[in-house]
Structure 1
Amino acid sequence: MHEPIAATAAESLERQAQERVFRSHDGTEIFYRFWPAASANAKGAVVLFHRGHEHGGRMAHLVDELRMPDHAFYAWDARGNGRSSGERGYAPSFSALVRDIDCFMREIAARDGFATQDIALIAQSFGAVLTAAWVHDYAPKLRAMVLASPAFSVKLYVPFAKEGIAFWQKVKGRFFVNSYVKAKFLTHDPVRIASFESDPLITRPIASNILVELYQHAARIVADARAITVPTQLLLSGSDWVVRHGPQHAFFVNLGSRTKERHVLPGFFHDTLGERDRAQALDLIRPFLAKQFASPDAPVDLKQADIAGYTRDEADRLGSPLDLLSPKCLYWAFSRASIRMGAWVSSGMKAGITTGFDSGSTLDYVYENDARGFTPLGRFVDRIFLEAIGWRGIRQRKLHLEELIRSCLATLKAAGRPAHILDIAAGHGRYVLDAIAKSPDQRASVRLQDYSDLNVQLGRKLIAERQLPASVSFQRADAFDADMLASIDPAPDLAIVSGLYELFSDNAMIARSLGGLARAMQSGSLLLYTNQPWHPQLEMIARSLTSHRGGQAWVMRRRTQGEMDQLVEAAGFEKLDQRIDQWGIFTVSVARRR
């Protein structure tokens, strides 16, 4: 048996921490500790993420105990915890915490020069779920990650507690739940137990919205773990009183990583990396990380995922007809009939039935978000239609597009470049016109394009209604005509592709379109592109809704964010930034022409 490792306060460690802060995406100040590598030329960096209720200081003992002096270490205090700003135990959403991680990585890269491919993550419990969500949603080129007892499913013990919290939040609004866990059920280490009980920086309450969203996002990440290809080590505590093992094992089985390890540590309580005998865990982590830093895995090539990949299998299944008399077939037949009946009174449903639920006309109606229909019943049905989670995600995507268009215009202005804007499949063009109207930075020209005559006609009408100058135009064009895109004059400084590539499964088409744009764009020009890495209603869409292509079933093949980013990179672009909605459905990314 390994000798116990006494927990030591961060300030008494051999490697002294520097204390820093950075401002996250919404201005919140995040506190973090930085331990420089002992050697002049660091071999990489390791970033530590603490469990719920705690702070980075309680991970500090790992810096020396891991015996990796040639690597820099970082440990943050998550917002609302420890010495970071924010209401105690609260964040606006789970996705806001995930985006905090993305901002933290940008801080590390900008300040110390460690790119994500130079970084490994070690995360525990709630922090491990945040880390897994960031890797899933943002697809960073990470060296490796170690997840210790990820809290994919917390043992609340009270029957129906999860449902009760969600219900009470709907009735009362946000409230706080105090942690019931005593330190003696977290670890056998008496020093860690005593320090937990006396630590003034422990935050016992957690906001109800974070608890509810934790379950929702954890279920999504576990089910879709095939999207994660980063080398991963999973450490599970054999006698964990806090979280369930089942989802942890399911996550491991689903993982798409070529290199993955799973280790169950018998007798360990939940605080895996703070247990009395944690040397057993550290002796597993050390060689795993050493191997990845010394000889990292080659990236998994996802560019052929449309031919052989799990999202292709999923789309094929959704596109296959059901047995005519099966309960599922009857259920979806009733669903289709209900939508057709709803179209009699709901303007939104009528637009979907007439032009396709993925058409520019339907999306423009969703953007307007004004319930219309025949009689008050029709307006009521239309409001239900507009509040579907997919349409809420679409409207959030529009906000992200507008934000990033404004950001790109500011970037081009700072670089002293003109701003010739091109949208290759603009629908009606509302999101672009709204964005440029709100931007203080002027554009040189705006060229909107679409393949649909109806979209071009209605887009030109929008331009006329807003009395925009002749520098704003709308043309009919094929977004997959690479030669046409390559010959556009003036060449775009900002090219936008929104909601298009998601509608087509074939990666060769996407590569052709991106290739045409790349040929047109000069070095330093910017590309704004969207993606749909996940959707909670894929089967409903495939079985009940029709597309713009002659009333065919709307069967979507998801692209993981990693797959989409690889297609963009292969065309000659470098990804710079990304946004994702709070449900994890739609992303908007910025890339720069190399």
Structure 2
Amino acid sequence: MTSLEGTAMLHEQNITAATVADEKRVAEERTFKSHDGTEIFYRYWPAVGESAKGAILLFHRGHEHGGRMAHLVDELAMPDYAFYAWDARGNGRSAGERGYAPSFAALVRDIDCFVREIGRDGFGQRDIALIAQSFGAVLTAAWVHDYAPDIRAMVAASPAFSVKLYVPFAKEGIALWQKLKGRFFVNSYVKAKLLTHDAERIASFEADPLITRPIASNILVELYAHAARIVSDARAITVPTQLLISGADWVVRHGPQHEFFVNLASLAKERHVLPGFFHDTLGERDRKMALDLIRPFLEKQFATPEKAIDLTGADRTGYTRDEADHLASPLPLLSPKGLYWAMSRASIRMGAWLSPGMKTGIATGFDSGSTLDYVYENEARGIGFVARMVDRTFLDAIGWRGIRQRKLHLEELIGNAVAALKAAGRPAHIVDIAAGHGRYVLDAIAKCAEPPASVRLQDYSDINVGLGSKLIADRNLPTSVSFRKADAFDAKMLGALKPAPDLAIVSGLYELFADNAMIARSLGGLASAMQPGGLLIYTNQPWHPQLEMIARSLTSHRGGQAWVMRRRTQGEMDQLVAVAGFEKIDQRIDQWGIFTVSVARRV
């Protein structure tokens, strides 16, 4: 090739690139059914060229819709990437009551369903990056925290971790009024001129018929609760993250944004404060400044991604280990905190005179199978109205409400797993290696359209084995359903299970033991017993609002010791499962963010 030919080819390539950049990409309009059947509308811009380097998902701010993020597809000038932008439920062209969702957690799960939807286009989690604004940025941060997806990167623009309501005690007033009167709607006070300096964006906002100004009170209240949880526990987030902060934001506070950044555990993290920017960071007049930061950050993560942080040693050096060690450290008896928790322990012992639930917890441990079975039954007992009221207060503790929701999620996923195994022509032999009394498994299989071939329940406790066997007898179940005493951490025994399990269940066990070597031994034993395609259902506790109360006031099943729990982030738990030879395929989490139930496939 002559130098003249080379120059001509380079000139032709430059013209082609410029033409591609100048042409507006056209969106396809699509919908999908989310977890509860709600139809979600979204736009899809295919990559320019034969194959995409990845997919970038756009999440709009509150009150808006994906159409108001569409300008980014061309302005980012990343033609080799596919783009997706949804309208959140209750917004834009998606279904649902305007400004409403059943819960904040339902919106977060919508994101999980959205990611599964675009998987139909061939994009796995490692092919995905997120760009989100304001309320959308809080949702995506919650999804990354709670579901621990293995995505390339996340860009959070002006996340609404703390909204400026301006009226004194407005947040408390909304929560109180909702408690007294039920759900109601709050109209946005924000004028378009406080969102951006861009005159065209201001005019389009004011004329847009798809803008949804009302927002349901339950979403506002839950936004504050979940935002506080995500900010304080951002050490659980290891995804490469870029944070863009609008320097002159009238809508949200800067403090929690900076706290979120400091707490992030991501090896690749960037923070940029954009002077003079109003809240609509990516719709500001000078947004090119922000886009010129986003583009290289994302391109770098797709080209040379950061190596994933190994979390399997977090029991030795992680922040949740530090937290558990702190909770296990005794307090000076005469210190204010020492006296407070001593009074708490005394009140529980006194409450046990009236409450059968508290009495069971003191006798067998608050983490025992007997206590959990009592919580599952959820029937206040005791002699007289006062006793039943005390027992109801015990049963309505947020942790026990989470436990009951976990049971519902277990039953759902066990039913789904049995149906999937049967559809694949497998007999569905089930083992639960630490079943407690086994109530949730027995309730789940009772609802199956086609029963599993066998159910083997196991537990280390003679009490649990005896009461679980009684449950089986009381239900007149066939001999294919059995209960045996066994150690859930005996890898050799687990590896020799006959028949080999098609579905293994581990619920509420690993959360009670801090040592990851024990968990790895148990998972390894199950993996050696299972054939490829077999399913594992496992639970986890990535967060809990009452960790100190539990550690300082409640006793465990281990000889009356203090019940000190070491949390595992969802990322840590999923890595332990992956190392054992399983691939996570589904997950549920309760509306408070306390307990997860996940499904993984043996690979």
Matches within 5 A, 1:503-582: 503-582=512-591
Matches within 5 A, 1:18-33: 18-33=28-43
Matches within 5 A, 1:149-548: 149-548=158-557
Structural RMSD (CA):
0.7
Aligned equivalent of 1:100, options 107, 110, 113: 110
Structure 1, residues 129-156: CA drift from partner, whole Å, max 9, x if none?
0000000000000100000000000000
Residue 13 of structure 1 deviates from its aligned partner by 6.8
- C-alpha distance in 1, partners of 2:255/2:266? 19
Unmatched tracts of structure 1, length 5 or more: 1-11
Paired amino acid for 2:517: A
Structure 1, residues 402-442: CA drift from partner, whole Å, max 9, x if none?
00000001100110100100000000000000000011121
Q: Give 1:4's aligned residue.
A: none
Does the 8 Å CA contact 1:324/1:330 hold for their aligned counterparts?
yes
Q: Give 2:59's aligned residue.
A: 49
Aligned equivalent of 2:599, options 550, 567, 590: 590
Structure 1, residues 306-327: CA drift from partner, whole Å, max 9, x if none?
0000000000000000112100
SS in 1 for 2:317: coil
Structure 1, residues 444-492: CA drift from partner, whole Å, max 9, x if none?
0000000000000000000000000000000000000000000010000
**Percent identity over paired residues:** 82
SS in 2 for 1:396: helix
Residue 48 of structure 1 deviates from its aligned partner by 0.2
- C-alpha distance in 1, partners of 2:195/2:260? 22
Paired amino acid for 2:209: P
Aligned equivalent of 2:25, options 7, 11, 15: 15
- C-alpha distance in 2, partners of 1:499/1:274? 46
Structure 1, residues 147-171: CA drift from partner, whole Å, max 9, x if none?
0000000000000000000000001
Matches within 5 A, 1:114-153: 114-153=123-162
- C-alpha distance in 2, partners of 1:287/1:469? 62
Runs (4+) of structure 1 exceeding 2 A deviation are none
Q: Give 1:3's aligned residue.
A: none
SS in 2 for 1:557: coil
Residue 562 of structure 1 deviates from its aligned partner by 0.2
Does the 8 Å CA contact 1:371/1:383 hold for their aligned counterparts?
yes
- C-alpha distance in 2, partners of 1:169/1:324? 40
Residue 375 of structure 1 deviates from its aligned partner by 2.1
Paired amino acid for 1:67: A
Number of residue pairs matched by the alignment: 582
- C-alpha distance in 2, partners of 1:134/1:203? 23
Does the 8 Å CA contact 1:13/1:61 hold for their aligned counterparts?
no
Paired amino acid for 2:267: R
SS in 2 for 1:63: helix
Structure 1, residues 62-116: CA drift from partner, whole Å, max 9, x if none?
001001000000000000000000000000000000000000000001x201011
Does the 8 Å CA contact 1:149/1:237 hold for their aligned counterparts?
yes
Does the 8 Å CA contact 1:397/1:581 hold for their aligned counterparts?
yes
- C-alpha distance in 2, partners of 1:195/1:540? 51
Gap change, CA 1:583 and 1:13, over 3 Å in 2? farther
Residue 374 of structure 1 deviates from its aligned partner by 2.6
